[in-house]
Structure 1
Amino acid sequence: MSISRRNVLLGVGGAAVAGVGGYALGRLPDRDTARDEPVAAPAADPKYRSRPDLRTLPDVTITTAANGTVAGSIFLTPASGTGLWGPLVVDEKGSPVWFKKVPDPATVAIDLKVQRYRNQPVLTWWEGTIGGTGGQGVGQGEFVLADRSYREITRVRAAGTEQADQHDMVITPQNTALFWVYDPIPYDLSALGGPADGVLHDGVIQEIDIATGKKIFEWRASDHVGLDESYAPRPVGESEHLPYDYFHANSVGLAADGAIIISARHTWTVYKIDRRSGKVVWRLGGKKSDFEVDERTKFSWQHDFRQRRDGSYGLFDNGAGVTKEKEYSRGVVFKVDEASRKTTFVAEFLHPDRLSAPTQGSFRELADGGSFVGWGQMPHFTEHNADGTVRLAGHLPLDNQSYRAYKAEWTGTPPDQPALGLHVDGGNVIVSASWNGATRVSRWRARWGTQPGALSGGEVEQARTGFETTLTVPGTPEYVVAEALDADGKVLGVSSAIPVRV
């Protein structure tokens, strides 16, 4: 993904409202927490009266309603030139559950997902700036870990002077983080007709102990993968001294046997790497495949290579990139026989509209054997049954994109108060209540009275109807408060008492 200089509306949390800020590729933000900070209010009518700062939060449209889906929320990182940037969680109806605007200046969020750290569920995402050559996104940033209360636990940074790339970060059972660094190194490109004093973007895996920041393991693509394996053209003409992104690593993970498995988009190859020695155990796909790849499994410009629970493998086959090799993208599952050195096609997962995504994308197995696909540059996501049929489909606005999309179960308990918005209509008070990140709210209750400590004028309840729920208070009392209730009627949180101004 390539990010250009642009202006976007930047909002923050709480019940306050964001203003307009400039966006440009620039330095990393200072270390920050995962909480929100209020700023001044805009004049335009808000989308959510309780959270007017979210008035440009992109809508998520569900086109195929949930039917037999697995439990869970949908995790996105919307990116556009006209909306808010940050990690976004929505429910199966497309309604926001939690959003956090990323810090200014010039910062984007990528790859929001649920992982486990120290045996506890955490949210992780990448923050930083993105540039690159040839339309390929190269990140300089760091990874955020946040707990169930959305409080920042820590940030994972690359060792030394390097900065972490956005494409992937996996927390291992040993509480280490595996991720990529794109390291521009001097390189003689004369064998390819390029300059002897050229620059190569080397793909570097780092494994970092999250608690201490100590580097445990490092692997460099240039030590193991030759430039002759690449399908990407090198920069030429006035750009020939820009880094040649011959490898373009875009996923890293662990196989069932503990080996590292990776995907390199520009070699059309996935690799298995010995975690101790760094030796390439095998290549699959591309120009130097160690396997005979069956015709239905063949892939190109791919993303998100993972091993599935039954031992098979899956990836997002873009089928398009610098060149277009297939008419549409897909999720594909295949078996790998390491003894016979052959692959066997198992299944493919398609969007009903046969979408082609030239960049980005994700493909993940779900708990019931189904799969969830994020269509990358095409701002769509789909949930599939094991046989490939679609049981949920939706999308961000078409001018957006989300590098990946996931589905997972998540329980959030925000540390702040619910947000409350009031306006008078027809002689009554319309109460708008929300609580960014709260996942257990089942109903809302509004109470009112003459003073904040004397709210005995009456109360009214309403089932939660999405991110924001409205309730009608008869007449115009002096003060109103909103209470968030769980399914058993227990009070989970209470807003501030807000005066009614007619």
Structure 2
Amino acid sequence: MTDTPKTSRRNLLLGVGGGVALAAVAGGAGYAIGHSGDSTTATPPVEPVAGPPKYRSRPDLRTLPDVTITVPANATAPGYIFLTPASGAGLWGPLIIDDKGSPVWFRKVPDPATVAIDFKVQQYRNKPVLTWWEGTIGGTGGQGVGQGEFVIADENYREITRVRAAGTEQADQHDFVITPRDTALFWIYDPVPMDLSAKGGPADGVLHDGVIQEIDIATGKRVFEWRARDHVTLDESNAPLPQGDSAHLPYDYFHPNSVGLDADGHLIISSRHTWTCYKINKKTGEVIWRLGGRKSDFALADQAKFSWQHDFRRRRDGSYSMFDNGAGVTKERDYSRGLVLKLDEQKKTATFVREFVHPDRLSAPTQGSFRELADGGSFIGWGQMPHFTEFAADGKVRLSGHLPKDNQSYRAYKAEWSGAPLDQPALGLSVENGGVTVSVSWNGNTRVAKWRARSGSQPRTLTAAVEGPRTGFETRLTIPGTPEYVVADALDAAGKVLGTSSAIPVRV
């Protein structure tokens, strides 16, 4: 590893010798903007418009974004869709929806200036868990750099633990992978002093080094670390240096955005700013090969070339996939795509296998994800463009949708999940047209198939009942007349009671 004098993160973010502050972005725009020169000024939250709540049973979710399904589900893979909506509305957090676009679970992240990113299902201690990143995001040149930590939650949505970077730095948001050893792999953007004069920058400049840490989740101890600057030189970068008053801000030459395990246990990573995917020896840290970029070890035909990419992964058949943005600081391709390549490590060739393209040929300058599904299909989150698409193995679109246009979701995933929250169902009442409208929901419960509303004159003797199927996040039932109290039961497909709300008095 390079032996470099240590400088505090605070001093480096203030600019060594330059006195220019790097602002933390409060509104999510810091990782949305992908073009050089765009502002990273904080976006103030938008105050909710007064009016009736979206969900009478959960008025706190007034500004939860609506999801529009443009291609209805057709023979889709089982599971739910996992998003992290971010907009100026200020209601950011991990969100699960179904194939109809209806919310299943949402949790608002803490204020102030905190966002959630990279929400997905993983395995920890042989059990399914939810993981996501929480923190604040800033950056230079519009590129998102995170300072935060990772959350692991169980099927009851209880927090099991938080995973933090070892040392003084904080974890970046771009990826979080739990390994079969119950360790966690993630990135840190570490600002270090660097002579940038060879690139035309200041001799007393600052470099954003890309650092992989592997942390034992149970103990928090660091078991492995890798630094990009020890293995990747500045001449591999396609990113421009900060200019003018920003010249002393950290130069984000590498911008790593994914890390994972290859089939042989070595690491595979994506570096957006070098247009390169790397395979790294897990024991020695040496680069085994480079795919793409200025020093590629593989010959790539034009159809296989990529740029400004995200989410490099190994697929079950031995091929590799990535989300090829094709756009970023520059625009190299008219549209973004999910790209699948077959590598011949002996002949050093990379063969184009297939591309997955949005029906509207979207171009996403930042963010994005591309994952293989259990049934052989694929799922794409279009990043800065707030869309998601599920494809069959042959490339046919079998589901497509989007968040509101002023939103975005760094990644989007689809996975099976069974959630059983420990709180009670939520209940809201309104007296309308000579009866009582009962609005019921249970944030996160995936087993509710039907709802039953019981009513009467005393909380403990509520016998009159109406039932109806679950119709989305919130279901509405109508009770004739005006009883004194109402309670709601959540039922599974067999009619078993999963939970019961509090008894609520009816107020005319």
**Is 2:324 aligned against 1:317?**
yes
For 1:45 and 1:331, the matched residues in 2 are separated by 41
Kindly provide the CA deviation profile for residues 128-173 of structure 1, in whole angstroms up to 9, marking residues without a partner as x.
0000000000000000000000000000000010100000000000
For 2:90 and 2:360, the matched residues in 1 are separated by 26
For 1:319 and 1:277, the matched residues in 2 are separated by 32
TM-score, normalised relative to structure 2? 0.92
For 2:228 and 2:383, the matched residues in 1 are separated by 25
1:245-324 → structure 2 map (5 Å cutoff)? 245-324=252-331
Structure 2 residue corresponding to 1:124, chosen from 131, 135, 151: 131
For 1:133 and 1:292, the matched residues in 2 are separated by 32
Structure 1 residue corresponding to 2:394, chosen from 387, 398, 406: 387
Partner of 2:485: 479
**Is 2:12 aligned against 1:6?**
no
Partner of 1:193: 200
Kindly provide the CA deviation profile for residues 231-278 of structure 1, in whole angstroms up to 9, marking residues without a partner as x.
000111111000000000000000011110000000000000011111
Partner of 1:232: 239
Kindly provide the CA deviation profile for residues 162-211 of structure 1, in whole angstroms up to 9, marking residues without a partner as x.
10000000000000000000000000001111111000000000000000
Partner of 2:461: 454
For 1:106 and 1:364, the matched residues in 2 are separated by 29
Q: Residue type matched to 2:473 in 1?
A: F
Partner of 2:18: none
| Structure 1 residue 497: Cα displacement | 0.3
Q: Residue type matched to 2:45 in 1?
A: V
Partner of 2:80: 73
Partner SS for 1:401: coil
For 2:192 and 2:212, the matched residues in 1 are separated by 15
For 2:43 and 2:259, the matched residues in 1 are separated by 31
Q: Compare relative contact order (CA 8 Å, sep 6+) and give the higher one, 1 or 2.
A: 2
For 2:51 and 2:503, the matched residues in 1 are separated by 24
| Structure 1 residue 495: Cα displacement | 0.4
**Is 2:150 aligned against 1:113?**
no
1:354-365 → structure 2 map (5 Å cutoff)? 354-365=361-372
Partner SS for 1:161: coil
Structure 1 residue corresponding to 2:505, chosen from 494, 499, 502: 499
| Structure 1 residue 83: Cα displacement | 4.7
| Structure 1 residue 455: Cα displacement | 1.0
| Structure 1 residue 6: Cα displacement | 3.0
Kindly provide the CA deviation profile for residues 274-297 of structure 1, in whole angstroms up to 9, marking residues without a partner as x.
111111000010000011112211
Partner SS for 2:376: coil
For 1:364 and 1:469, the matched residues in 2 are separated by 33
Partner of 2:353: 346
Q: Which runs of 5+ in 2 are unaligned?
A: 1-30, 33-39
Kindly provide the CA deviation profile for residues 351-396 of structure 1, in whole angstroms up to 9, marking residues without a partner as x.
0000000000000001111100000000000000111110100000
**Is 2:146 aligned against 1:139?**
yes
Partner of 1:202: 209
Partner of 2:172: 165
Structure 1 residue corresponding to 2:162, chosen from 148, 152, 155: 155
Structure 2 residue corresponding to 1:397, chosen from 380, 396, 404: 404
Q: Residue type matched to 1:104 in 2?
A: D
Partner of 1:488: 494
Partner of 2:449: 442
Q: Residue type matched to 1:460 in 2?
A: V
For 2:447 and 2:44, the matched residues in 1 are separated by 36
Q: Which runs of 5+ in 1 are unaligned?
A: 10-19, 22-41
Kindly provide the CA deviation profile for residues 444-479 of structure 1, in whole angstroms up to 9, marking residues without a partner as x.
0000111111112x0000000000000001111111
Partner of 1:467: 473
Partner SS for 1:484: strand
Size of the aligned set, in residue pairs, is 471
Determine if contact 1:109/1:128 at 8 Å carries over to the other structure: yes
Partner of 1:59: 66
Kindly provide the CA deviation profile for residues 298-341 of structure 1, in whole angstroms up to 9, marking residues without a partner as x.
00000000000000000000000000000000000010110000
**Is 2:419 aligned against 1:412?**
yes
Determine if contact 1:57/1:83 at 8 Å carries over to the other structure: no
Partner SS for 1:8: coil
Q: Residue type matched to 2:349 in 1?
A: K
Partner of 1:95: 102
Q: Residue type matched to 2:130 in 1?
A: L
Partner of 1:431: 438
| Structure 1 residue 43: Cα displacement | 5.8
Partner of 1:33: none
For 1:326 and 1:368, the matched residues in 2 are separated by 30
For 2:459 and 2:219, the matched residues in 1 are separated by 47
Partner SS for 2:268: strand
Structure 1 range deviating more: 435-444 or 81-90: 81-90
- Percent of matched pairs sharing the same residue: 76
Partner SS for 1:325: coil
Please report the RMSD computed on the Cα atoms of aligned residues, expressed in angstroms. 1.1
